[in-house]
Structure 1
Amino acid sequence: MKNTIKYFALFVIAFSISILACKNSKEHSKAADSSIIEKVVPENLKWSERMMLSEIERVPKASMLDFVKKPRWSYTNGLVLSAAIKVYEETNNQTYYDYIYTYADEMIDSTGNIKTYKLSNQNLDMIKSGDVLLYLYPKTKEERFLKAIETLNSQLESQPKTSEGGYWHKKVYPNQMWLDGLYMAEPFHTHYAKDYVKDATKAENIYNHIVLQFDLIQKHSRDGKTGLLYHGWDESKEQKWANKETGNSPNFWSRAMGWYGMAMVDVLDFLPENHSGRERIITYLNQFAEAITKVQDKSGLWWQVLDQGDRDGNYLEATGTSMFTYAFAKGVHKGYLDKKYLAVAEKAYEGLIDNLVSVEENGLVNLNKCCGVAGLGGNPYRDGSYEYYINEIIRSNDPKGTGPFILASLELNK
């Protein structure tokens, strides 16, 4: 009997040890599993898709791009979605098309009204997202999209102008042309004239007016010594930021020139081969490329204030660099620029990857050191000084950087 009790006690002890060992093994296995982080963005894709998927993960609704709290119609949405269109065309992945379409579906009501948009503001920034509609309408034939396209075109027909015919950047910025405005409005306007204006004379008039915008910017904003272009020009010379002799703002801001470079290569997609202004824009693009290359940092990147790289507070900035990379690569591929500029673009892209791109454990891709915003005038007043540009907010994943980064990645097939 004693032996039976003894053996039973030993069995209980052994069984308990076995249970405990099994439990410890499971807990160890569970702990090991918890260290495996699921990749929400696969790392075996090209950078264009990795960044596009990262943006969709961060901002599931394109109407909320640019760190806003409510859906809105603005230029940053159109910028990122223009990149999404290119990614979709290359991959045929429905995820990207859905991201594009959902924005238009949300922001254009059944009657063609554009939510949050006011034509009376005469704001060139609001034209950019029209590129999304120009892409979608031929595919969907939804009349509401066409109605919205016509609304945006009507803004350009009524936009206030300088005495020579240059668009004011916004109604609240009288007599002012900004480099930004050429990217916001002119690719849309050229595409519209090519595909939606059937009257040849009317289309020609639109093309002439588009080229005039570039002619005027070259005439008034380009610095003869450096070849760089000032952010803004005030015809009235009344703004506090305006040089009293030239009307120019005081500094060369990286992203302003980035907008201008992208405007040129994108307008040339639609400007007819036989138009008299085409060669002039290509000449402007070559002058631009020469000037920008001279101020490229040894890292491949460009500075926030382009010509003052060694000045205290200046920094190597992602949005302008991404824009230049795209403009140079596309310019070479389209035959507008000498092939030497492809090496400039490659060096810039390597600089971005090595210095300003980071990847999280779950695969999300970040673009760091983006200038959040910069402008001229307004309230509080922005004086265009060196101190102003270097002290604006710096953040990661600003759409004014991620969109051009995707476009540059596609052009370089990275």
Structure 2
Amino acid sequence: MKTTLLAASVAALLGCALACGPALAEGQYRNPDNTNPKDKGEGTYPVPYKKPVVAEVTAQLKAIRAHMDATTPTRIISKRTKQPITDLKTPNADAIFEPSDGDYGIQVYEMGVVHSGLLKAAEATGDQSFTAMTQRHFGFFAQTLPYFRAQEQKFHLERANSFSRFLDPRSLDDSGSMCAALIRARLAKVGPDLKAMIDTCSDWVINKQFRLGDGTMARKRPQEVSLWADDMYMSIPALAEMGRLTGNRKHFDDAVNNVMGMSSRMFNAELGLYTHGWHANLPDAPRFYWARANGWAVLAMSDLLDVLPKDHPGYPKVLAQLRASIKGIAERQSGSGLWHQMLDRNDSYLETSASAMFTYVIAHAVNQGWVSPTTYGSIAQAGWAGLSTRITAKGQVEGTCVGTTLAGDMVYYYHRPTSAEALHGYGPTLMAGAEIIKLVTNPAFEVQHKVRTYHYMPKGGQTDYREHH
């Protein structure tokens, strides 16, 4: 009942966020910022083309938070009987985390991004209830880690143990993203101190992950030595946060080294895009510019710059690389504000998770002064216009590509399914909405609606529209 009422209230709040002015037909919108209803020069749009309204963006973020909260239980049950297990002193071989309604694993890398997004939403809105789910999840981890450790010691379940990612991590996917989220929550004093989990996951990233000879993070799949652009996010933010947590500059050095090592092999400077992967034995293989891989890359660089000391010799290198990537990505934004599954292929479908990452990173870069607001502010705003249509009244995020491996043919990428149960879209969308709130309330510039479009101008900047007829 509580969830139903919340969904109903959120649906009412969304109102204009989803309909945005008088709709001519389904999927067609007028711009409510144009107060002249008879303006023949004003078009109609497939998305809500307008300056984002803070209350509406906040309502959508609250809807996502409510959906995540309602669909991620934190209980132990018997795999066999499905009944709750409350005895945390006697290990039971059948004990597992209660599965989520939406197949949202509470320790997977995608959930690390969700927690990072919730922390950012709390910061942007001032509403600390955004962190309640993080506190619940992390409190559950603190309570149950000793139980599942004892279960593993007694029954040797390995990957069947619900806590396996933090008892026996085996990849960057197991460790990096959640490690960064755990550190961010710890430094924000949200939830319990999970130092034991941080130690385990950071040890994997720092000391155990397979690497190239120059220290670049690598995998032994799908070929003997392969790089994945995804791994920029699965490693670099954790290294950066370890640098912030410990003050040890070697972690910042490692993070910068991985940005440059990955970029030297996977970034196409002519296009301004990252190929999904690179193989040591086939360095000249055809390149596939999968959108989410590019999202992981720019998100990783953005996260690093947030904590990298400005006097670090790698700071200008990472900033230059991020700027080059943002330019390449911005030039490929579609007419809906979203980006295509394959960035260089306009006949591939429009995909949500990458679009959310791009919207966040571009808006964040503007807010941080890394790129010009006059160049990129309206691009971030347009990204949110498209993204807002992918958020349902119930807080589901639609149109997200499901988990995708590093492949070698275009047919595979084109036909990856999309699903509202693909967790990859939720964290980035929370981050994007939070940053858009900061963008439209940033005191450093103003958003001008002139000649039916938007201009992000530094405060005090002088423009002249007298020649306009």
Deviation at 1:60, TM superposition (A): 4.6
Q: Which runs of 5+ in 2 are unaligned?
A: 14-54, 76-96, 150-161, 441-469
Write the distance in 2 (CA, Å) between the matches of 1:346 and 1:94. 25
Matched, 1:130 2:130: no
Matched, 1:391 2:415: yes
Matched, 1:149 2:198: yes
Q: Give the one of 48, 51, 66 matched to 2:61.
A: 48
Q: Is the 8 A contact 2:119 2:130 kept in 1?
A: yes
Q: Give the one of 429, 432, 453 matched to 1:408.
A: 432
> Quick one: which amino acid aligns to residue 209 of structure 2?
Q
How does the TM-score come out when normalised to structure 1? 0.77
Taking structure 1 as reference, are residues 249 and 273 closer, same or farther at Cα in structure 2, changes over 3 Å only?
same
Aligned counterpart, 2:24? none
Deviation at 1:245, TM superposition (A): 4.2
Matches within 5 A, 1:109-124: 109=144, 111=146, 115-117=163-165, 119=168, 121-124=170-173
**Aligned-residue RMSD, C-alpha:** 2.7
Aligned counterpart, 2:447? none
Write the distance in 2 (CA, Å) between the matches of 1:402 and 1:72. 13
Q: Give the one of 275, 290, 297 matched to 1:260.
A: 297
Taking structure 1 as reference, are residues 137 and 172 closer, same or farther at Cα in structure 2, changes over 3 Å only?
farther
Deviation at 1:125, TM superposition (A): 4.4
Q: Give the one of 316, 321, 325 matched to 1:288.
A: 325
Deviation at 1:91, TM superposition (A): 4.8
1:178-202 deviations in whole A, cap 9, x for unaligned?
A: 11111122112211112224xxxxx
Aligned counterpart, 1:183? 233
Taking structure 1 as reference, are residues 305 and 168 closer, same or farther at Cα in structure 2, changes over 3 Å only?
same
Q: Give the one of 99, 115, 119 matched to 1:81.
A: 115
Write the distance in 2 (CA, Å) between the matches of 1:369 and 1:303. 11
Deviates more, 1:71-80 or 1:281-290: 71-80
Write the distance in 1 (CA, Å) between the matches of 2:222 and 2:137. 27
Matched, 1:332 2:366: yes
Q: Give the one of 396, 405, 415 matched to 1:375.
A: 405
Q: Give the one of 259, 275, 283 matched to 1:230.
A: 275
Q: Is the 8 A contact 1:127 1:152 kept in 2?
A: yes
Q: Give the one of 101, 106, 118 matched to 2:140.
A: 106
Percent identity reads: 22
Write the distance in 2 (CA, Å) between the matches of 1:302 and 1:79. 20
Taking structure 1 as reference, are residues 317 and 157 closer, same or farther at Cα in structure 2, changes over 3 Å only?
same
Q: Give the one of 328, 334, 338 matched to 1:301.
A: 338
Q: Is the 8 A contact 1:121 1:170 kept in 2?
A: no
1:24-58 deviations in whole A, cap 9, x for unaligned?
A: xxxxxxxxxxxxx7443524351222322232234
Matched, 1:251 2:279: no
Deviation at 1:230, TM superposition (A): 0.4
Aligned counterpart, 1:344? 379
Write the distance in 2 (CA, Å) between the matches of 1:327 and 1:397. 23
Write the distance in 1 (CA, Å) between the matches of 2:128 and 2:334. 39
The structure with more radius of gyration: 1
Write the distance in 2 (CA, Å) between the matches of 1:172 and 1:74. 21
Write the distance in 2 (CA, Å) between the matches of 1:325 and 1:194. 25
Taking structure 1 as reference, are residues 402 and 122 closer, same or farther at Cα in structure 2, changes over 3 Å only?
closer
Greater share of helix residues, 1 or 2?
1
Taking structure 1 as reference, are residues 173 and 89 closer, same or farther at Cα in structure 2, changes over 3 Å only?
farther
Aligned counterpart, 1:18? none
SS of the counterpart of 2:278? strand
Q: Is the 8 A contact 1:72 1:115 kept in 2?
A: no
Q: Is the 8 A contact 2:183 2:242 kept in 1?
A: yes
Deviation at 1:319, TM superposition (A): 0.9
Aligned counterpart, 2:217? 167
Write the distance in 1 (CA, Å) between the matches of 2:171 and 2:252. 20
Q: Is the 8 A contact 1:123 1:170 kept in 2?
A: no
Aligned counterpart, 1:213? 258
Taking structure 1 as reference, are residues 351 and 338 closer, same or farther at Cα in structure 2, changes over 3 Å only?
same
SS of the counterpart of 2:273? coil
Deviation at 1:142, TM superposition (A): 5.1
Deviation at 1:128, TM superposition (A): 1.0
Aligned counterpart, 2:396? 366
Q: Is the 8 A contact 2:290 2:343 kept in 1?
A: yes
Write the distance in 2 (CA, Å) between the matches of 1:319 and 1:120. 25
How does the TM-score come out when normalised to structure 2? 0.68
> Quick one: which amino acid aligns to residue 387 of structure 1?
V
Q: Is the 8 A contact 2:122 2:128 kept in 1?
A: yes
> Quick one: which amino acid aligns to residue 163 of structure 2?
K
Aligned residue pairs, count:
349
Write the distance in 2 (CA, Å) between the matches of 1:106 and 1:270. 28
Write the distance in 2 (CA, Å) between the matches of 1:332 and 1:273. 17
> Quick one: which amino acid aligns to residue 413 of structure 2?
Y
Deviation at 1:110, TM superposition (A): 5.1
1:131-182 deviations in whole A, cap 9, x for unaligned?
A: 3321343537956x11211111211222221122111247886522211111
SS of the counterpart of 1:365? coil
